[in-house]
Amino acid sequence: MVFSSLGDWLGLLATTAMAQQLSGGDYAKANYAIAGVFISRLLPAVFLGPLAGVIADRLDRRKLMVVCDILRTALYISIPLFHNYFWLYTATILVECVTLFWSPAKEASVPNLVPRTKLESANQVSLLAAYGTAPIAALLFTFLSLFTSAINAAFNINSTGVDIALYVNAASFAFAAFTIFNLKEIPKGAAAKHAADTGILKSLIEGWKSVSGSKIIRGLVLGMVGAFVAAGAVIGLARTFVGDLGGGEAAYGVLFGAVFSGLALGIAFGPKVFAQFSRRRLFGASLTIAGLFLVGLAAIPNLVLAVFTVIALGAFSGICWVTGFTMLGMEVADDVRGRTFAFVQSLIRVVLVAVLALAPLIAAAVGQHTFKFQNTQVSYNGASVTILIAGVFAAFIGALSYHQMKDRPNVSLWSDIANAIKGELGSITGAPTKGIFIVFEGGEGIGKSTQSKLLKAWLEQEGESVVLSREPGGSDLGIEIRKILLSHSTGEISPRAEALLYAADRAHHVFSVIRPALAAGEVVISDRYFDSSIAYQGAGRVLEPGEVARISRWATESLFPTLTIIIDLPAEIGLARLKSKDRLESQPLDFHERVRQEFLQLSLLDPERYFVVNGNQSIEDTHKAIIARVSEIAALKRNAREDKGNLLLRPIRAASKAVRTTAAKTTAGASKAVKRATPKKKSPAAPKANGKSAKK
């Protein structure tokens, strides 16, 4: 990738330079010729892109890439040999046609070559290879141009610097073909085995469905289109914009280098700097910020400030690009991944062609304008205004994409930013689970076990498959850890060791019980989960709740409940119900009161995921309140499976509003209790996952 990308940038510089040479010094002709090179490189995607993706899915990807690189080698060698406009454009179009087959095969292969957890890192390396070599190619082209005579003498040839650059480009593709030929691990297209049964038209339709049928992919495609509308405007008007700021060729080169330097920085460091963010949120947010920087670029009258703005613009564009490709690799099935990447790349190229054609027309229509304010005058021309429009459009599309894909609708972006700075927010990059995960939390003697069993029985009556578990002790390993944690014979345990033992139990519980059941589409009910560690080891043992939350987040790989039910009861009442007490239950009353207040404070931070029910009422009333709340989630899941025939849910939904009003009053009373009794120590900010917000 490094060598072929370096050669590709070198080829772009060489072909545009040759177009200018062939113009014979005619300024207008030279500009049209250079524009023709850009359009020749982009236009094939309009007709061939989707078909190329289908072929990438149906053929052996490794052999396809090798053949494509050999063809590109031959075509680039032929350009300096023919040395005329006709073959320059013809060869450029043919090279791009071949590239349209090569690119989706490569993009579709990467997710199969690396573990899912390393896909983002692989995309970073790939994109750095693709874009980080552009400044190097510019330096190499300059070197070849300056030392043409010496190179001709050394190799006994008679060529121009442009010709030598094209030969070096051809050599880079030959090297890429040799390298890929030896990569035996590259798999065939996942659809190749079905090639005899699936027609081309049907394959194209399946590729379109893979894009249009997913809300996430639609948001990604929408965002990428917006990003390249802005990019096309900048590419088409950058030289004019620099000239309006008083800069020449050198300034244009500096701006070119600044864009790609920022892009490389964003690709290399962005995912690490923003590791705490949900990737679905990061994509739209980074595109919006890039659009705002583009707006700022249009308003800046100073070349130096423009360079720094372009670096920031490139950085956020790089974050957007690597995040988008990572999400596409994870969200799209392997058998349609090639055609999906091809569709996206084709759409991007079509957008670029349209913008490259329209942006100069808009700039020319706007013309030059000067505004006078008392003793000050400000001049703006068509290039600045067009870039401003492109920036506004990119920011608008970024906002739409953000709202289309955001996975936690009730949590603000500013809350994410604040929590990420504190290290309290876990990133969510995996697909949501199929099943429903419900957790019961609260103090001692509140009836969690009774209510969890009643809920299990009710859900099974409703036709759900239910797994009931507990912490600690939900697995064979957990049973042994439970003995250590709760037995009086263990004696005193260090608070930190206690927190780590609970985390060890939870990690194995999630691995061996919870995740397999959720993957099978079952309902999992757990008596206690990570909020108990925050309350007991955090508030109860007076450890830092944020540290305890991070331990559990790591142990569970950021698996969060769909719903957490907190049964609230004064500590003295709950403890009085116990006939015998284990090691934790024997702690002083103030310990248990701190635990209770922490649970209540957690519920206030995230009302969407937490449901507080008054435990000081009959078992039947508590059960009714719980099933009224759970029925909403269960109904959504059943509707997704088109199971709409369950009449038992109808009276429950009808009663839900009244019951939840009562529960809201209980929560309001809990809020007042928190304000009166909660010590002045902040709980950790709530990480969120699977479309629901979650307090860790």
Across the chain, what does the average pLDDT equal?
A: 74
Q: Given this model, what pLDDT does residue 456 score?
A: 92
Q: What whole-number percentage of the chain has pLDDT above 70?
A: 68
| Mean pLDDT score, 249-265 | 70
629, 608 Cβ separation under 8 angstroms: no
CB atoms under 10 Å from CB of 303, counted, come to 16
pLDDT digits (tens, 9 = 90+) for 479-488: 998 888 888 8
CB atoms under 10 Å from CB of 153, counted, come to 10
State how many domains the chain has.
3
548, 499 Cβ separation under 8 angstroms: yes
CB half-sphere exposure, 428, CA atoms < 13 A: 24
pLDDT at residue 469 greater than cutoff 90: yes
The residue ranking higher by pLDDT, 655 or 51, is: 51
pLDDT digits (tens, 9 = 90+) for 196-242: 344 444 544 555 666 666 667 777 777 777 777 777 777 666 666 77
Find the DSSP H helices in 372-509: 382-405, 413-421, 448-461, 476-486, 495-509
pLDDT at residue 526 greater than cutoff 90: yes
Q: How confident is the model at residue 256 (pLDDT cuts 50, 70, 90)?
A: low
Instruction: Say if residue 481 is in the same domain as residue 344.
Output: no
- Of 371-385, 500-514, 586-600, 617-631, the poorest mean pLDDT is in 371-385
pLDDT digits (tens, 9 = 90+) for 568-611: 988 888 888 888 888 888 888 888 888 888 888 888 777 778 89
The CATH code of the domain that includes 577 is: 3.40.50.300
Considering the domain boundaries, does residue 687 fall inside one? yes
Q: Given this model, what pLDDT does residue 367 score?
A: 67
Considering the domain boundaries, does residue 417 fall inside one? no
Considering the domain boundaries, does residue 412 fall inside one? no
Q: Which of 198, 229, 262 is the last residue of a domain?
A: 198
Instruction: Say if residue 145 is in the same domain as residue 66.
Output: yes
Instruction: Say if residue 19 is in the same domain as residue 108.
Output: yes
Max mean pLDDT range (45-54, 364-373, 534-543): 534-543
Q: Given this model, what pLDDT does residue 422 score?
A: 56
Considering the domain boundaries, does residue 421 fall inside one? no
Instruction: Say if residue 385 is in the same domain as residue 279.
Output: yes
Q: Given this model, what pLDDT does residue 604 score?
A: 78
Instruction: Say if residue 354 is in the same domain as residue 467.
Output: no
Cα gap 126→223, rounded to integer Å: 20
689, 559 Cβ separation under 8 angstroms: yes
- Contact partners, residue 398, CB within 8 Å, separation at least 6: 223, 226, 227, 284, 285, 286, 287, 288, 289, 290, 291, 320
CA–CA distances in Å: residue 179 to residues 1, 40, 63, 110, 172? 10, 28, 12, 15, 11
Considering the domain boundaries, does residue 425 fall inside one? no
Q: How confident is the model at residue 524 (pLDDT cuts 50, 70, 90)?
A: very high
Instruction: Say if residue 516 is in the same domain as residue 642.
Output: yes
Instruction: Say if residue 358 is in the same domain as residue 481.
Output: no
Instruction: Say if residue 71 is in the same domain as residue 170.
Output: yes
Q: Given this model, what pLDDT does residue 683 score?
A: 45
Instruction: Say if residue 192 is in the same domain as residue 214.
Output: no
Q: How confident is the model at residue 677 (pLDDT cuts 50, 70, 90)?
A: very low
For the full predicted model, state whether its pTM sits above 0.85. Answer: no
The CATH code of the domain that includes 357 is: 1.20.1250.20
Q: Is 425 helix (H, G, I), strand (E, B) or coil?
A: coil
Cα gap 340→328, rounded to integer Å: 9
Max mean pLDDT range (10-24, 288-302, 335-349, 358-372): 288-302
Q: Given this model, what pLDDT does residue 682 score?
A: 45
Q: Given this model, what pLDDT does residue 440 score?
A: 94
Q: How far is CA 495 from the centre of its chain?
A: 37
pLDDT at residue 567 greater than cutoff 60: yes
| Mean pLDDT score, 617-624 | 91
Instruction: Say if residue 230 is in the same domain as residue 190.
Output: no
| Mean pLDDT score, 625-653 | 57
The residue ranking higher by pLDDT, 186 or 251, is: 186
- Contact partners, residue 121, CB within 8 Å, separation at least 6: 114
Domain that holds residue 323: 206-406
Q: Which of 171, 198, 225 is the last residue of a domain?
A: 198
Burial of 2 by CB count in 10 Å (0-12 exposed, 13-18 middle, 19+ buried)?
A: middle
Handedness of CA 499, 502, 508, 510 (dihedral sign): negative
pLDDT at residue 454 greater than cutoff 90: yes
Max mean pLDDT range (6-15, 153-162, 551-560): 551-560
Considering the domain boundaries, does residue 583 fall inside one? yes
Q: What whole-number percentage of the chain has pLDDT above 90?
A: 9
The residue ranking higher by pLDDT, 129 or 515, is: 515
Q: Which of 161, 180, 198 is the last residue of a domain?
A: 198
- Contact partners, residue 133, CB within 8 Å, separation at least 6: 2, 5, 6, 9
Instruction: Say if residue 210 is in the same domain as residue 165.
Output: no
- Of 232-246, 430-444, 538-552, 578-592, the poorest mean pLDDT is in 232-246
pLDDT digits (tens, 9 = 90+) for 24-53: 666 456 556 666 777 777 677 666 666 676
Q: How confident is the model at residue 251 (pLDDT cuts 50, 70, 90)?
A: low
Instruction: Say if residue 247 is in the same domain as residue 183.
Output: no
Cα gap 276→256, rounded to integer Å: 31
Considering the domain boundaries, does residue 177 fall inside one? yes
Q: Given this model, what pLDDT does residue 421 score?
A: 59
Considering the domain boundaries, does residue 104 fall inside one? yes
pLDDT digits (tens, 9 = 90+) for 150-206: 777 777 777 777 788 888 888 888 998 999 888 887 776 554 444 434 444 454 455
Is the previous residue joined to 516 through a cis bond, with omega within 30 degrees of 0?
Answer: no
Backbone angles phi, psi at 371, to 5 degrees: -115, 130
